[in-house]
Amino acid sequence: MGGSHEQTGALGSVLDRRWSVIKYAVVSRAIVLMLGAVSNAIINDYDASTSLVIPDASSGAESVLGTLARVFVRWDSFYFLHIADAGYVHEQEHAFFPLLPLLMRLVTGTVLTPLGGWVDRRIVLAIAGLVISNVSFVLAAATLYVLGCATLRNERLAYVAALLFVAAPASAFMSAVYTESLFAWLVFSALLLIVRQRYVWAALCLSASGLCRSNGILYAGFFVWDLVVCSDAWRGRHFVALAVRTVRAAILVAISTLGFVAFQAYGHRTFCQQPAEATAVPRPYCDSALSTVYSFVQAEYWDVGFLRYYTVRQLPNFALAAPMVALSLAGLYTYAAFDPLRIATLGWRQRRSVTGIVVPLGAAFFRRELLPHVYLWALLLFVAMTTMHVQVVTRFFSSVPIMFWFAAHAVTSGNWWQQRMVVGYFVAYGLAGVVLFSNFFPPA
């Protein structure tokens, strides 16, 4: 009876804190939307081109919705809005994946149908994008909390990490017509399903994430880690069982990549197999199976490539990325220094272990279960620093759970200055980002 009461109490605590996370997430989105609207009202836009995609209002209600849409349709949002409205017309639009535009169309044609008769379609589509992003953000915050409880085995650390996600430095992008929140929710959900060994549903979530952002396919590696690397069959040399698990992992990886592959196939068909719509200049992705429309577009139109961003003129962008890069390097070093042998041997050998149904607060970040997250974090940091527009690393890492877990570890177990540096960075960068984004100032 006593054990039953303890379990019930613990479950009640988790449920209560989950609703607490949801409450703070909703409040944070309201603050972001209001701050963006107020900032836009008192500060002149750096770039007034939003008026080209969001029409002037012809009625009172349309004016209110149009104003909100104009505040949070910036930078890449233009592309998502155009794709939702007209489909993929231009080659460069294939840098932007179709899930968000498809959902914008769906919401516009269902939930927001009553607005269609008296509000311009582009405004309704933009509002649909805002609804999707902000609802996804709340769901992502709650899912990160549950994932943290399951992975860290420490509810307090999971709760603090979820609150830090609520105050994420990329807050503006998480509420705008961008894919960050939707992608984070899909990835967090997939990782939670993997922890619960519901692998097929996890693979479907990752397949959907591959229709949202290209890096969704990288998370398929968790199936290999869970089913092959961590298999007990290695110890007993049960090679048949290991082969079965390897095949199972391969099937799950294939399912996970379906979304990304399908979108690349669509681009290939559009520009390589339909001459009427093809580009005038032959494209390498039409002749090589190793080249994709996405990789070509990123290199051709955005100059994305290995070390291409390392120029003097980009130094300000490296400065903008520096806090997130420093936080990531600190997190990777902290975890690796706890047990270098574990890092070097894929966790097959370790000098120090952290076990238990409930793990102490200061030790939760060092659990072996975080090892695949560490490897992925290091890979993503390398890619961001060498290949991407480095200033996007702040929002790029908004879907990386371990970044928030380490930030929470620094806040709960670090000294006074570490706590204030982390919290101060999250809050100040996030609020400043809202003001800059809503008025079309960099960083994008």
Mean pLDDT lowest among 319-323, 324-328, 358-362, 398-402? 358-362
- For the chain, how far is it from start to end, CA to CA, in angstroms? 56
Residue 291 has what pLDDT? 84
Amino acid at 204: L
- Flag whether pLDDT at 265 surpasses 90: yes
Residue 5 has what pLDDT? 40
**Region 223-252: what's the mean pLDDT?**
90
**Region 313-336: what's the mean pLDDT?**
96
d(C-alpha 422, C-alpha 344), whole Å: 29
Given CA atoms 236, 240, 245, 250 in this order, what sign does their dihedral have? Answer: positive
Confidence of residue 307 (pLDDT cuts 50, 70, 90): very high
Cα separations in angstroms, 46 against 74, 435, 443: 11, 12, 12
- Flag whether pLDDT at 298 surpasses 50: yes
- Flag whether pLDDT at 13 surpasses 90: no
**Cα 404-372-304 angle, rounded to 5 deg:** 75
Tokens 């605590």 locate to 13
Residue 338 has what pLDDT? 94
Amino acid at 57: A
Residue 444 has what pLDDT? 65
Confidence of residue 66 (pLDDT cuts 50, 70, 90): confident
Residue 166 has what pLDDT? 98
Residue 239 has what pLDDT? 86
d(C-alpha 25, C-alpha 19), whole Å: 10
Confidence of residue 57 (pLDDT cuts 50, 70, 90): low
**Region 77-101: what's the mean pLDDT?**
95
Mean pLDDT lowest among 48-62, 136-150, 189-203, 341-355? 48-62
Burial annotation 265-291 (CB, 10 A radius, 16+ → b, else e): eebbebbbeeeeeeeeeebebeeeeeb
Confidence of residue 206 (pLDDT cuts 50, 70, 90): very high
Tokens 């039409």 locate to 286
Residue 415 has what pLDDT? 85
- Flag whether pLDDT at 77 surpasses 60: yes
Residue 12 has what pLDDT? 53
Q: Are 220 and 253 in contact (CB under 8 A)?
A: yes
Burial annotation 344-375 (CB, 10 A radius, 16+ → b, else e): eeebeebeeebeeeebebebbbbbebbbbbbb
Residue 3 has what pLDDT? 42
**Region 257-263: what's the mean pLDDT?**
97
Q: Which of 72, 258, 275 has the alpha carbon at shortest distance from 171?
A: 72
Q: Which tokens in the block code for residue 411?
A: 């806040």
If phi > 0 it is left, if psi is from -120 to 50 it is alpha, else beta; for residue 303 that is left
Mean pLDDT lowest among 216-225, 235-244, 361-370? 235-244
Cα separations in angstroms, 276 against 200, 258, 262, 418: 39, 27, 21, 59
**Region 219-244: what's the mean pLDDT?**
89
What is the overall mean pLDDT for the chain?
Answer: 90
Given CA atoms 141, 145, 371, 223 in this order, what sign does their dihedral have? Answer: negative
d(C-alpha 199, C-alpha 77), whole Å: 33
Residue 360 has what pLDDT? 77
Confidence of residue 47 (pLDDT cuts 50, 70, 90): low
Beta carbons within 10 angstroms of residue 112's beta carbon: 19
Q: Which of 182, 72, 157, 166 has the alpha carbon at shortest distance from 427?
A: 166
- Flag whether pLDDT at 197 surpasses 50: yes
- Cis geometry, peptide bond prior to residue 443 (ω within 30 degrees of 0): yes
**Region 339-349: what's the mean pLDDT?**
92
